[in-house]
């Protein structure tokens, strides 16, 4: 197994891995193996992270993956980073105040396709500024950790919004939906690629243009993804062999 090169996916949570890991393992080339680094949070919104040090953070995650497993840097073929947009590119005027009695900070934010509602709108505006700057920088790079090939793909406004058409999902439902999604496509990965190319949410354009699109208006709150671009590349490579 060590002779095979690794495609390393960096994802925010366990449900991202549970939704995709087995399916992607069946899709990606036979000479590659799929591994996931779950970072348990959104690196683009972490305190102390900014556009100046984001490359260092990504490198740290790769180093953590290497140190916690049996691999070394040269075993990694490329890095695929999956992120949620969370409405990061909307105007400040579209962040609206709404009182909430929720104890959990993560539940005190509500999204729809036009607005973000929060008790503390200044925090959301600050988060959006940080997150949008970081995402813009990541979208413009193709190398991390000196010389590892890198691409970042988005789900808008989040993973569940794209693959389940539900914008706000609690933790328990996320786990249940992830298992349901995996069961649906594990026997037929080609159907997964077809699903991710659904014109209702898949953006078919050049990689750079998909990022320009998601930055416009309220697109980062609407149901869109560019992950189909990566999957189509894998599919096309297989057909050419």
Convert the pLDDT of each residue in 21-43 to its tens digit.
Answer: 999 999 997 779 999 999 999 99
Residue 125 lies in a domain: no
Residue 160 lies in a domain: yes
Residue 149 lies in a domain: yes
CB count within 10 Å of CB 6 equals 20
Strand partners, 78: 7, 149
Residue 100 lies in a domain: no
Distance separating alpha carbons of residues 210 and 148, to the nearest angstrom: 22
Tell me how long the chain is: 241
Per-residue pLDDT at 1: 47
Per-residue pLDDT at 102: 54
Residue 196 lies in a domain: yes
Residue 123 lies in a domain: no
| Total domain count, the chain | 1
Per-residue pLDDT at 144: 96
Residue 116 lies in a domain: no
Per-residue pLDDT at 170: 81
In terms of residue numbers, what domain contains 205? 5-87+132-240
Convert the pLDDT of each residue in 222-236 to its tens digit.
Answer: 999 999 999 999 888
Nearest Cα neighbor of 219 from 141, 151, 135 is 135
Q: Are 198 and 162 spatial neighbours (Cβ–Cβ below 8 Å)?
A: no
Residue 111 lies in a domain: no
Binning the chain into helix, strand and coil, the percentages to the nearest 5 are 45, 20, 35
Measured in degrees and rounded to the nearest 5, phi and psi for residue 150 equal: -145, 140
Q: What is the pLDDT along the chain (241 residues), one digit of tens a residue?
A: 457 899 999 999 999 999 999 999 999 977 799 999 999 999 999 999 999 999 999 999 999 999 877 889 999 999 999 999 999 999 999 999 998 655 455 557 899 999 999 999 999 999 999 999 999 999 999 999 999 999 999 999 999 999 999 998 887 889 899 999 999 999 998 999 999 999 999 999 999 999 999 999 999 999 999 999 999 998 887 655 5
Per-residue pLDDT at 30: 77
Q: Read off the pTM.
A: 0.93
């Amino acid at each position: 197994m060590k002779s095979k090169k690794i495609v390393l996916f960096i994802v925010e949570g366990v449900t991202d891995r549970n939704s995709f890991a087995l399916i992607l393992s069946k899709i990606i080339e036979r000479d590659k193996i799929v591994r996931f680094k779950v970072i348990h949070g959104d690196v683009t919104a972490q305190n102390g992270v900014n556009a100046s040090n984001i490359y260092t953070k990504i490198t740290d995650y790769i180093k953590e993956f290497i140190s916690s497993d049996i691999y070394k840097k040269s075993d990694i073929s490329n890095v695929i980073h999956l992120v949620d947009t969370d409405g990061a590119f909307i105007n400040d005027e579209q962040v609206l105040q709404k009182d909430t009695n929720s104890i959990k900070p993560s539940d005190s934010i509500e999204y729809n396709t036009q607005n973000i509602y929060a008790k503390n709108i200044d925090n959301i505006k600050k988060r959006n500024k940080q997150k949008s700057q970081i995402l813009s920088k990541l979208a413009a790079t193709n190398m991390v950790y000196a010389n590892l090939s890198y691409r970042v793909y988005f789900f808008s406004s989040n993973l569940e919004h794209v693959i389940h058409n539900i914008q706000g999902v609690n933790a328990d439902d996320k786990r249940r939906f992830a298992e349901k999604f995996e069961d649906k496509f594990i026997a037929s990965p080609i159907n997964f690629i077809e699903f991710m190319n659904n014109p209702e949410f898949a953006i078919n354009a050049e990689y750079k243009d998909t990022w320009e699109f998601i930055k416009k208006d309220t697109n980062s709150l609407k149901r869109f993804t560019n992950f189909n671009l990566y999957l189509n590349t894998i599919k096309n490579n297989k057909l050419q062999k």
